[in-house]
Amino acid sequence: MTKFPIHVHLGDGREFLVTELDPVMASVKVGGKWLQEREIVQPIIVGLLTSTCQSGDTFVCDKCGVRHAYRGWVTGYGTNSAGEKICYECCREFDKEWMSENDKITLYLTQATTGRWRVTNWPGTLRFRVDETRKGKHNITGTRYDVWFTDREGNRWWGVSYGENSQLCHCRKLKGSG
């Protein structure tokens, strides 16, 4: 686990003293100020994550009990509110179950290099092809993306993502589905 504060040196000679990290919002706190500029934040986050995962390290999933190796520069697990380590495969099963039993979930809106939009869970183990996308205006973030997709049970969902600097997609099951 990375201990803060930590000095981060970028290849171009810049140096930062990072006091906090928010990987969900893709921002780091430097000198009391939250930074979100992708050119600065991305190398810092990659450097911090790389330093936390050592080659050959493993963990045991608290749900399925299987021992997993870390995956490159990422841990290979998420944590729940109880602090349990949950492997990506169990994250997928949890999210599928949640979607089956509830009508709201926060997922991520991503765009493939082909230009095709997808809605995924955090580790990307649960994916849905977007059937329709509309880009609109938003008074605070400038843009918003409305998307529609169908889950594996045939339920229709609508999601909205705000701005160009976030992938968070607030999804809701449409009435008449499920």
- Tell me the average pLDDT across 159-171: 89
Q: Which residue has the tokens 């169990």?
A: 90
Give phi and psi for 52, each to the nearest 5. Answer: -90, -20
49 pLDDT more than 60: no
Q: What's the mean per-residue pLDDT of the chain?
A: 80
Q: Which residue has the higher pLDDT, 13 or 176?
A: 176
Question: What's the CA angle centered on 108, arms 31 and 75, to 5 degrees?
Answer: 65
Return the domain boundaries, the chain. 6-52, 55-101, 102-178
Tokens 């990506």 -> residue? 88
If pLDDT is split at 50, 70 and 90, which confidence band does 1 have? very low
Distances (CA, A) of 80 to 77, 99, 141: 10, 17, 29
In the numeric block, which tokens belong to residue 87? Answer: 């492997």
- For residue 164, count CB atoms less than 10 angstroms from its CB and return exposed for 0-12, middle for 13-18, buried for 19 or more: exposed
pLDDT tens for each residue of 84-135:
888 888 999 999 999 999 999 999 999 887 889 999 998 888 999 999 999 8
Give the list of residues 6+ apart from residue 47 with CB closer than 8 angstroms, or none. 8
Record the pTM. Answer: 0.65
Q: Does domain 55-101 have CATH number 3.30.60?
A: yes
Q: Is pLDDT above 50 for 174?
A: yes
